[in-house]
C-alpha cells in the first residue's frame, strides 16, 4: 500500500498526476517503448560496433550485459515512473525520498532531452536526405567507398542543407509529440514499428540472397575470442546496451509514468528489451552479408551506414529501391526514438513551468534545433571540443559524453537507488502490490543490488578514455 499512498499524497500536491494520460493498450505501450529503444542505436551504431569489436564476440558480451544489467535497470526505471506518475525531475520528489536522488532526473532530462537530441536529430536529418538522394543521384555518385565518402563529406560540409534536414526532422517529431501520448506517440508507433519490421525482413531477404553473402554471415557469427582482453569492448557493449534500451536518461521513467496500474511491468520490459535486441541482431543480417558480397570493409566505423552501404546498394540490382527502403527504415527508427527524448523534455517543461503541451513542444523544439545547429556546424567547421590535448567534433564529443559517461552514471545511480534505498516499494510496483507474480524477482534483486552496480563501475573505470 505504501507506494500507492505516496502517489496519492504527492499527486494532490500539484494535481497534475490525477489527469495524467495513460497508454491506450498494452501493445501500444510496448510498441512505444520499443519505438524509443529501437533507433539509430540498433541500425547505425550496433553493426558498426560489431564490425569494430571482432564480430560475434561483441554480440555475446552485449547479450550478457543486456540481460543482467540493461533489463534490470529498465525494470527499475519503469517502476519508478509508474509509482511516481511524474517526469524524471519530479519523480523523486513525488516518491518522498532524499532530494539527492533528484540528480538522476535532472541529469537524464538535460543529457537526454537536450544533449542526445542535439546530435540524434542531425543524424535523423541525414536519413531524410539519403531517402531523397536514393532516387536523385546517390546511386551514381557512390560506385566505390571513396566516392561514397566524398558524397557524404560534401553533404555534411553544406551547412545549410544539413541544418534544413535536421529542422525538418525535428518538426516531424514535434508534430507527433504535440498529439500527446495516445494520439501522437502511441498511434504513430503502432504504424511505424510494424512497417519497420517488414522493411527489415525485405532487406535481409535481399542481402542474404546475394552471391558471396555467406562470408558476411560467417563474420557476423564467428567470435574473435582474442578481443575479450580488450577493456574497450566491454565499455562499448555497456554504453551500447544503455543507449539502445534508452536507459539512464529517464526516458523509461517518463514512459513508465503513463503505464496503467494493472500492467505487468516485468513482461512489458522483457518484451521491450527483446524486440530491441532482435532488431539490432537483424540489422546485422541485413548489413554484413551485403557488405561482404560487394567486397567492402566491415570495420568502417561510424561511416558504415552512410558511406559503405550506399556504395553497396549502388552495385546491387534495384539498388535505388533498396537504398530508399533502408533509409526509410532508419528514419522510422530514428523518429520514434527522437520523439521519446522530446517527450521527456516536453513533460519536464509542462510540469516545471505549467505550460500547455503545445507551448512546451515549441519551447523544447526550438532549444533542440539550436543545439542541433551547433552539432551540424561542427561537422564542417570550427566548433570543436578540446580536452586533455585531444579534440573532437561537437557531435562526437557529445555522443561520447552521453554514451560513455552520462548513461552509465545515470544507470548506476538508478541501480543504487532502487536496490538499496527503494527496494520494497519497487518490489510492490513490480508485482502490482502483490497481485501478480514476478518470476525472476530474486535474480532481479541480486542484479540491481550487486551485479549491475559493480559491473557498471568496473567497466566504466577500466574502459574510460577520451
Task: Write out the residues near ligand PHE by the rule CB under 6 A.
Answer: 36-37, 39-42, 112, 116, 243-244, 246, 249, 251, 337, 340-341
Q: To the nearest whole angstrom, how small is the minimum distance from the Cβ of residue 45 to ligand PHE? A: 7
Q: To the nearest whole angstrom, how small is the minimum distance from the Cβ of residue 249 to ligand PHE? A: 5
398 grid coordinates: 557529445
- In the complex with ligand PHE, the residue whose CB is nearer, 29 or 292, is 29
The residues, any chain, with a CB within 8 Å of residue 267's CB and separated by 6 or more, are: none
* Mode of pairing for the β-strands spanning 390-393 and 384-387: antiparallel
Q: To the nearest whole angstrom, how small is the minimum distance from the Cβ of residue 36 to ligand PHE? A: 5
- The Cα-based distances of 348 to 105, 114, 202, 250 in angstroms read 10, 12, 39, 11
- In the complex with ligand PHE, the residue whose CB is nearer, 67 or 436, is 67
Q: To the nearest whole angstrom, how small is the minimum distance from the Cβ of residue 306 to ligand PHE? A: 15
Q: To the nearest whole angstrom, how small is the minimum distance from the Cβ of residue 433 to ligand PHE? A: 29
- In the complex with ligand PHE, the residue whose CB is nearer, 36 or 414, is 36
CA–CA gap between residue 404 and residue 464 (Å, rounded): 7
In the three-class reduction of DSSP (H, G, I as helix; E, B as strand; rest coil), residue 393 is classed as strand
- In the complex with ligand PHE, the residue whose CB is nearer, 334 or 459, is 334
Using CB atoms within 10 Å of the CB of residue 32, give its burial: 0 to 12 exposed, 13 to 18 middle, 19+ buried. Answer: buried
> What DSSP state is assigned to residue 55?
B
Q: To the nearest whole angstrom, how small is the minimum distance from the Cβ of residue 414 to ligand PHE? A: 14
Q: To the nearest whole angstrom, how small is the minimum distance from the Cβ of residue 438 to ligand PHE? A: 24
Determine the length of the chain: 466
Taking residue 8's Cβ as centre, other Cβ atoms within 10 Å add up to: 12
- In the complex with ligand PHE, the residue whose CB is nearer, 292 or 400, is 400
- The Cα-based distances of 247 to 31, 70, 71, 253, 317 in angstroms read 16, 8, 9, 9, 40
- In the complex with ligand PHE, the residue whose CB is nearer, 39 or 105, is 39
- In the complex with ligand PHE, the residue whose CB is nearer, 71 or 341, is 341
- In the complex with ligand PHE, the residue whose CB is nearer, 210 or 283, is 283
Q: What are phi and psi of 414, to 5 degrees?
A: -60, -45
Q: To the nearest whole angstrom, how small is the minimum distance from the Cβ of residue 73 to ligand PHE? A: 12
- In the complex with ligand PHE, the residue whose CB is nearer, 50 or 341, is 341
- The Cα-based distances of 205 to 213, 391, 410 in angstroms read 11, 42, 39
CA–CA gap between residue 259 and residue 78 (Å, rounded): 8
Q: To the nearest whole angstrom, how small is the minimum distance from the Cβ of residue 40 to ligand PHE? A: 4
**110 in Cβ contact with 352 (< 8 Å):** no
Q: Give the containing element (helix H, strand E) for 387.
A: strand 384-387
**73 in Cβ contact with 249 (< 8 Å):** no
Alpha carbons within 13 angstroms on the beta-carbon side of residue 245 total 35
- In the complex with ligand PHE, the residue whose CB is nearer, 247 or 293, is 247
In the three-class reduction of DSSP (H, G, I as helix; E, B as strand; rest coil), residue 209 is classed as coil
Q: To the nearest whole angstrom, how small is the minimum distance from the Cβ of residue 247 to ligand PHE? A: 7
Q: At what angle do helices 56-65 and 213-221 cross, to 10 degrees?
A: 40
Amino acid at each position: 500500500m505504501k507506494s500507492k499512498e505516496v502517489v496519492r499524497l504527492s499527486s494532490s500536491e500539484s494535481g497534475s498526476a490525477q489527469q495524467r494520460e495513460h497508454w491506450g493498450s498494452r501493445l501500444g505501450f510496448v510498441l512505444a517503448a520499443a519505438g524509443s529503444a529501437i533507433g539509430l542505436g540498433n541500425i547505425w551504431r550496433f553493426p558498426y560496433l560489431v564490425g569494430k569489436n571482432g564480430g560475434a564476440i561483441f554480440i555475446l558480451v552485449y547479450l550478457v550485459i543486456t540481460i543482467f544489467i540493461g533489463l534490470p535497470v529498465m525494470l527499475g526505471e519503469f517502476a519508478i515512473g509508474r509509482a511516481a506518475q511524474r517526469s524524471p525531475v519530479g519523480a523523486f520528489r513525488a516518491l518522498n525520498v532524499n532530494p539527492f536522488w533528484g540528480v538522476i532526473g535532472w541529469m537524464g532530462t538535460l543529457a537526454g532531452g537536450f544533449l542526445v537530441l542535439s546530435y540524434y536529430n542531425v543524424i535523423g536529418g541525414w536519413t531524410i536526405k539519403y531517402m531523397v538522394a536514393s532516387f536523385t543521384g546517390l546511386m551514381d555518385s557512390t560506385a566505390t567507398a571513396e566516392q561514397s565518402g566524398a558524397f557524404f563529406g560534401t553533404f555534411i560540409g553544406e551547412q545549410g542543407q544539413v541544418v534544413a534536414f535536421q529542422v525538418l526532422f525535428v518538426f516531424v517529431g514535434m508534430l507527433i509529440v504535440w498529439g500527446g501520448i495516445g494520439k501522437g506517440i502511441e498511434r504513430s508507433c503502432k504504424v511505424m514499428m510494424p512497417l519497420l519490421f517488414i522493411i527489415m525482413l525485405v532487406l535481409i531477404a535481399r542481402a542474404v540472397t546475394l552471391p558471396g553473402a555467406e562470408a558476411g554471415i560467417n563474420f557476423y557469427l564467428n567470435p574473435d575470442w582474442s578481443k575479450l582482453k580488450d577493456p574497450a569492448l566491454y565499455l562499448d557493449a555497456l554504453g551500447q546496451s544503455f543507449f539502445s534500451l534508452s536507459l539512464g536518461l529517464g526516458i523509461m521513467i517518463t514512459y513508465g509514468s503513463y503505464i496503467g496500474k494493472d500492467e505487468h511491468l516485468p513482461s512489458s520490459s522483457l518484451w521491450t528489451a527483446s524486440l530491441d535486441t532482435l532488431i539490432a541482431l537483424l540489422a546485422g543480417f541485413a548489413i554484413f552479408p551485403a557488405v561482404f558480397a560487394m567486397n567492402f570493409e566491415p570495420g568502417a566505423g561510424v561511416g558504415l551506414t552512410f558511406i559503405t552501404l550506399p556504395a553497396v546498394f549502388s552495385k546491387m540490382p534495384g539498388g535505388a529501391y533498396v537504398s530508399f527502403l533502408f533509409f526509410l527504415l532508419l528514419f522510422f527508427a530514428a523518429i520514434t526514438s527522437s520523439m521519446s527524448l522530446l517527450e521527456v523534455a516536453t513533460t519536464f517543461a509542462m510540469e516545471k513551468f505549467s505550460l500547455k503541451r503545445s507551448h512546451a513542444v515549441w519551447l523544447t523544439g526550438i532549444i533542440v534545433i539550436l543545439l542541433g545547429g551547433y552539432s551540424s556546424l561542427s561537422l564542417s567547421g570550427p566548433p570543436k571540443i578540446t580536452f586533455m590535448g585531444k579534440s573532437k567534433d561537437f557531435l562526437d564529443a557529445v555522443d561520447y559524453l552521453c554514451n560513455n559517461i552520462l548513461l552509465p552514471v545515470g544507470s548506476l545511480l538508478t541501480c543504487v537507488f532502487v536496490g538499496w534505498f527503494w527496494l520494497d516499494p519497487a518490489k510492490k510496483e513490480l508485482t502490482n502490490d502483490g497481485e501478480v507474480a514476478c518470476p525472476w524477482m530474486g535474480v532481479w534483486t541480486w542484479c540491481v543490488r550487486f551485479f549491475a552496480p559493480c559491473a557498471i563501475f568496473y567497466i566504466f573505470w577500466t574502459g574510460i578514455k577520451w
